[in-house]
A and B are shown apart, each in its own frame.
Chain A
């Protein structure tokens, strides 16, 4: 039988003993795996077309405030494009914390991956375009996003979006079948908490 002693936040004392409370330890408290809904061939897209769209809601159910970070992990990404068209994948996130938070729609364009190969003038007509196809793949990437403090009862609303766009010139060669493709695969959200 152990004596109960007075303890502050993030510690516990019971008749079994005394030690740190669960909230003392850094931990992944919630996660989400978001898959792409639009991998493969794409059409002309002057406005971004959604590939991945997802969200994660996290509640601080503890008696003590916590400090929260979001790990945003993006899959390797790939594009295929044909002279002189640009193919890019934008992504963005937004978040809000409160009793009943509503994060804004993530505005596309915070981060961008993509490419363009141009081997003749932008004004070249479909009949005169040089043949040129561009393939580009990049490794997976990640970002830790500091959310900040969440008080007991606070809710975090985190939103993520990835979208493909073909900005600028769109000329399709008339004598070959052009390739325009984009692959975003997935994004993974992992919410980490430490004592505030």
Chain B
């Protein structure tokens, strides 16, 4: 049977959706949402037993994470890297430095994030108090604590539907040369702790394709 009237029809864009009984609702990807949350713990905290004068040094953390855009729309991504307290003890005249770095890609494998020439974070210290008349380093040690802090990165590209975001994080420590074996007047004390890094990502919604502007 044909109808002689037109039923009013309202189409909706991809950020709106319908429930099973045809009621209008907002799609779950229409608001910012957490999509990655991984805690990485250091596997090399404690005493520094040997000098590490060559970059990148000793690996403390190594973690790969990924997320596939499971929505029908592009998404932008905000990465948040939270570094736990870093602390170290270093003896005159030696140096300890922590470096971390992450690489990220869309749909390909990221390169291993060696911290040799490029790094995201870098923290450390040295106190050089010189030597006495028989070339022994003068006594002297330094303790330092750096509080937890965050580093945000807004991905410059959009993730298209079904795109896979991958990120590889690593943290190292090394001992920038030179290194004295009889530091702190033959009583060397060297420790380094990076505790944890938490890697989070939030996906942010984009406008649909049906209604633009």
- CA of A161 to CA of B213 in the docked complex: distance in angstroms? 36
- Quick check: A130 and B124 within 8 Å, CB to CB? no
Check A110 for interface membership: any CB of B closer than 8 A: no
Check B122 for interface membership: any CB of A closer than 8 A: yes
- Quick check: A131 and B130 within 8 Å, CB to CB? yes
Tell me which of B8, B122, B130 contacts A130 (CB under 8 A).
Answer: B130
Give chain B interface residues in 159-213, CB to chain A under 8 Å. Answer: 204-208, 210-213
Chain B residues within 8 Å of A38, by CB: none
- Quick check: B30 and A20 within 8 Å, CB to CB? yes
Chain A residues within 8 Å of B149, by CB: 139, 141-142
Check B87 for interface membership: any CB of A closer than 8 A: no
- CA of A138 to CA of B83 in the docked complex: distance in angstroms? 12
Shortest beta-carbon distance from A191 to chain B in Å:
11
- CA of A61 to CA of B30 in the docked complex: distance in angstroms? 23
- Quick check: B146 and A139 within 8 Å, CB to CB? yes
- Quick check: A117 and B10 within 8 Å, CB to CB? no
Number of interface residues, chain A, beta carbon within 8 A: 39
- CA of A154 to CA of B154 in the docked complex: distance in angstroms? 24
Shortest beta-carbon distance from B139 to chain A in Å:
11
A112-142 interface bits toward B, Cβ cutoff 8 Å, 1 = contact, 0 = none: 0000010100000000001111111111111
Give chain A interface residues in 1-56, CB to chain B under 8 Å. Answer: 1-3, 5, 12-14, 16-22, 24-28
Q: Name the residue on A nearest B80 (C-beta).
A: A142
Check B76 for interface membership: any CB of A closer than 8 A: yes
Check B37 for interface membership: any CB of A closer than 8 A: no
Shortest beta-carbon distance from B180 to chain A in Å:
14
Chain A residues within 8 Å of B146, by CB: 138-139
Shortest beta-carbon distance from B151 to chain A in Å:
5
- Quick check: B206 and A3 within 8 Å, CB to CB? no
- Quick check: B211 and A16 within 8 Å, CB to CB? yes
Tell me which of A5, A135, A140 contacts B10 (CB under 8 A).
Answer: A5
Check B135 for interface membership: any CB of A closer than 8 A: no
Check B16 for interface membership: any CB of A closer than 8 A: yes
Give chain B interface residues in 1-28, CB to chain A under 8 Å. Answer: 8-16
Check B34 for interface membership: any CB of A closer than 8 A: no
- CA of A190 to CA of B204 in the docked complex: distance in angstroms? 16
- Quick check: A131 and B129 within 8 Å, CB to CB? yes
Check B152 for interface membership: any CB of A closer than 8 A: yes
- Quick check: B13 and A132 within 8 Å, CB to CB? no
Check B32 for interface membership: any CB of A closer than 8 A: yes
- Quick check: B122 and A142 within 8 Å, CB to CB? no
Check B111 for interface membership: any CB of A closer than 8 A: no
Shortest beta-carbon distance from A33 to chain B in Å:
11
Q: Given A73-B152, A130-B130, output 4 extra A-B contacts at Cβ < 8 Å.
A: A3-B9, A12-B213, A18-B11, A22-B212
9 residue pairs from A and B, CB less than 8 Å apart: A12-B211, A131-B129, A133-B127, A134-B125, A136-B124, A137-B125, A139-B86, A142-B151, A190-B154
- In the A-B complex, the 7 residue pairs with the smallest Cβ-Cβ separation, listed nearest first, are A19-B13, A17-B11, A131-B130, A2-B11, A139-B121, A135-B126, A133-B128
